[in-house]
Amino acid sequence: MEIILHQYNHLDSTNEEALRLISDEMAGEGMVLWAHEQTHGRGTGENSWESEPGRNLTFSVILQPHFLEPSRQFALTEMISLALFDVAERRPGHEFLRIKWPNDLYFNNKKLAGVLVQNMIKANQIDFSVIGVGLNVNQKKFFSDAPNPVSLIHLSKKEESLSGLLDEILKQLGYYYEKIKTDIKSLEGLYLQKLYRMGEWAGYSDEAGIFTAKITGINRYGQLLMTDRQGNLRVYGFKEVKFLDKVS
Ligand code: BTN
Cα 122 to Cα 105: distance, rounded to the nearest angstrom:
30
Return the residue whose CA atom lies nearest to atom 15 of ligand 1. Answer: 42
CATH number of the domain bearing residue 224: 2.30.30
Residue from 6, 10, 58 to probe ligand 1 pocket by mutation (most atoms less than 8 Å from CB): 58
Confidence label for 235 from pLDDT (cuts 50, 70 and 90)? very high
With contact defined as beta carbons under 8 Å apart, do 18 and 130 qualify?
A: yes
93 SS3 class: coil
Task: Please provide the distance, in angstroms rounded to a whole number, between the alpha carbons at the two ends of the chain.
Answer: 45
H helix or E strand, kind and range, residue 210: strand 209-218
Q: Answer yes or no: is pLDDT of 37 > 80.
A: yes
The letter for the amino acid at 59 is: F
Examine the domain organization and report whether 102 and 31 are in the same domain: yes
In the DSSP assignment, the letter for residue 18 is: H
In the chain, how many domains are there?
A: 2
Domain containing 208: what range?
A: 201-243
User: What average pLDDT does this structure show over 93-104?
Assistant: 94
Residue 248 lies in a domain: no
Cα 191 to Cα 173: distance, rounded to the nearest angstrom:
14
Residue from 61, 133, 148, 239 to probe ligand 1 pocket by mutation (most atoms less than 8 Å from CB): 133
113-157 confidence digits (pLDDT tens): 999 999 999 999 999 999 999 999 999 998 876 678 999 999 989
Question: What's the pTM value of the predicted model, to 2 decimals?
Answer: 0.96
174-184 confidence digits (pLDDT tens): 999 999 999 99
